[in-house]
Amino acid sequence: MRYLIDFLEIKDIQKTQIFEHLKCELEEAKMLKKMTESYINGSVEVVVSELLVSIFGDKNFSHVKHLPLVKSLLDQGWITHGSFVNLKIGEVSNIELFNSTIALSSTFLKLLEEGTLEVDLPDITEYTDHLEYLKDQFLRIDLYQQVGLTKQNLTQNSISTSRLRSKIQELEIRIAERVKKTKIDIVVENIFKDNELSPKEQVIFLALLKEEYASEFDSLRDMNTLVSLISFDDYEKIKNRALLEEGSKLIENEIIDYDEMLNGFGGVSRSFYISEELLQKIMHPDKEKKSKKIKLDMLISEQDLFELVDPKTTLDDVVLTPKTRELLDNLLKQLDRNVVRLLREWGIKERRSGVDAKIIFYGPPGTGKTMTALSLAKSMKKRVLSFDCSKILSKYVGESEQNVRRIFDTYKDMAQKTKSEPVLLLNEADQFLSARSTEGGGSADKMHNQMQNIFLEQIEKFSGMLIATTNLLENIDSAFSRRFDYKIAFEKPTQKQRLELWRKLLPENAVYEENFSIEELSKYALSGGQIKLVLKNCALRVAVKEEPIFLMEDFIATIQREIKGVFGEEKSMGFVAGGN
């Protein structure tokens, strides 16, 4: 308590050890000393008018002239309003303070005890273990909590709040620099990167993690407390509540969860906590390294049904009709947290069910059904398990019905083991979707009907994202049609779309003849797949020349051969720009 005794005993306040930290006027320091004496003698709160008279006297109302000093000390955070005073600093006048009570703030009392308010910031060196990293992050949360305490009594631009924010910013810069230098794997940082968490989401996560390590009172688990931690005014509090509501990234990605309980006012409050799986990864990082996570890549070699595809293009790379693009954009809106929240409130979507959609892409070959399916998955940041339905009969003769069920069972098993939800792509699903035979028929018809019935049953129970592609929709069984949420047509591109495709697909670094005309090429009624095929074959033709220049005659000759069917029907991934 040497700083406290020093402050009380030394007559010249300017020579006390804490004066340099106060950064206030001498007369303001005298008021703080007088209040400290009262505090030590048992008076936690003092009346402003009585305090001013005791220091400055009341001759010619000199004490009233010093009233602005009280407002200044409040602004600096060295004093607070009394416990029974409900005045807001930004709205109260000096005169209103005259007969109110004030008290020393916790910040000032801490200064009296420790002699400084400076935070010991870490040196910018690499982290040697995750606990060293967490120590810095928990200090960061402590500072955020201190800002919250000062905001209860101070204006937003108060000196004390600004000082703390400056320290937070400096600490955050140092943490970032230390992470850059660090060679070891820091689990928390990986969680931030993998889930693309914003700075505010990171603070919420760290606050909950601090509770797991250090707190016994669950003081940081309440929604209002967490929201206040990252908000600097009432407007931000309203806006930031979305970070902890249904559909938010923290909830949707199963990073945090919550318990609901009745509070004393008859309402329901939420207590948040970090998911057990992530908590174990953080608290036992060495154990996590030993237990290798099961990934789709590991399982794909153990089965012979699916091909695992990592999409390379997004929907931004695909050339689509405006109507088709609108339908797919609406589908992607299932990822929007506000949409998810409403669907869950209405009971349409179950909690944490992810994206649920069963889609049929139909249209002639080469119009980009498969590539669009892959690009849609890429836009949703999902991998694809692809199955070629045309092989179901030829590959599994006599076991077709059993293997239809096996498709869905294997998909479900792989998704559960890897804790992921890849897109299930059923390519060339014509025989699954065609109308069932209603008359007697032979054994082949019965087998086909049985296979389709099982397929219908599995579609009904399927949860997740399923895309089936087919060339014709005219003969689709109505029972299947009802089970699919979206039925999206793919038509051959218009001349305008073909022009866009040619512009995107033609190599930029190639040499073209002087009168080369993309507009002329676009007049030929090719599908997207045919355009890619023509370009590939034309490029091979040009590459073997002594002077590799693309000529119009090369393209026209190749196009005419394609139209005449010299190359045959190509099952293209086309109607897309970019990708293979």
Q: What is the pLDDT of residue 175?
A: 93
- Tell me what the mean pLDDT of segment 440-455 comes to: 74
Q: How far apart are CA 568 and CA 570, in angstroms?
A: 6
Residue 426, SS3? strand
Specify the CATH number of the domain 2-114.
1.10.10
User: How many Å apart are CA 542 and CA 549, to the nearest integer?
Assistant: 6
Q: Which residues contact 127 (CB under 8 A, 6 or more apart)?
A: 133, 178, 179, 181, 182, 184, 186
Lowest mean pLDDT among 1-15, 299-313, 323-337, 428-442: 428-442
479 pLDDT more than 50: yes
Q: Look at residue 263 in the predicted model and tell me its pLDDT.
A: 52
With bands split at pLDDT 50, 70 and 90, how would you rate the model's confidence at 150? Answer: low
Q: Confidence class of residue 159 from pLDDT cuts 50, 70 and 90?
A: low
User: Which tokens hold the place of 197?
Assistant: 């968490």
- Summarize the confidence of residues 479-491 as an average pLDDT: 81
Tens of pLDDT along 319-331?
887 888 888 887 7
| Topology, domain 495-563 | Helicase, Ruva Protein; domain 3 (1.10.8)
Task: Give me the long-range contacts of 163-172 (CB less than 8 A, separation at least 24).
Answer: 163/117, 167/119, 167/121, 167/143, 168/140, 168/143, 168/144, 170/121, 171/119, 171/121, 171/122, 171/136, 171/139, 171/140, 171/143, 172/140
Q: What 8-state DSSP symbol labels residue 476?
A: B
pTM of the complete model: 0.48
Q: Any idea which of 79-93, 172-186, 382-396 has the lowest mean pLDDT?
A: 79-93
Give the Cα separation of 27 and 18 in Å (integer): 15
- Please report the pLDDT score of residue 470 as a whole number: 87
Find which of 114-123, 213-222, 426-435, 530-539 is predicted with most confidence, using mean pLDDT. 530-539
**Ranges for all domains in the chain classified under CATH 1.10.10:** 2-114
189: left (phi over 0), alpha (psi -120 to 50) or beta: alpha
**Per-residue pLDDT at 289 exceeds 50:** no
Q: How far apart are CA 385 and CA 465, in angstroms?
A: 11
* Domain boundaries for CATH 1.10.8.60 within the chain: 495-563
Instruction: Tell me: pLDDT of 335 over 70.
Output: no
In words, the CATH class of domain 296-489 is alpha beta
Alpha-carbon span 290 to 338, nearest angstrom: 39
pLDDT attached to residue 151: 59
Distance CA 191, CA 503 (A): 40
Cα→Cα distances 68→85, 97, 164, Å: 18, 9, 24
- Whole-number percent of the chain with pLDDT over 70: 81
pLDDT exceeds 50 at position 333: yes
In the chain, where does the domain assigned CATH 3.40.50.300 lie?
296-489
The per-residue pLDDT for 443 is: 67
pLDDT bucket at 229, cuts 50 / 70 / 90: confident
Token pair for 240? 């930031």
Q: What angle do CA 238, 240, 242 make, to 5 degrees?
A: 95
Choose the weakest-confidence range: 25-29, 162-166, 464-468: 162-166
pLDDT of 486 higher than 90: no
For residues 533 and 561, give the distance between their C-alpha atoms in angstroms, rounded to a whole number.
Answer: 11
| Residue partners of 115: CB distance under 8 A and separation at least 6 | 2, 3, 17, 18, 21
The winner for highest mean pLDDT among 7-16, 279-288, 348-357 is: 7-16
Check residue 465 and report its DSSP letter. Answer: E
Residue 406: what pLDDT? 86
Q: What's phi and psi for 485, nearest 5 deg?
A: -75, -35
Q: Which segment of 51-65, 228-242, 436-450, 566-580 scores lowest on mean pLDDT?
A: 566-580
Q: Are 380 and 332 in contact (CB under 8 A)?
A: yes
What is the DSSP track for 190-204? HHHHHTT--HHHHHH
- Each residue's pLDDT tens digit, 31-90: 999 999 999 999 999 999 999 999 999 888 888 888 899 888 887 778 887 765 554 444
Query: Which tops the pLDDT comparison, 443 or 68?
Result: 68
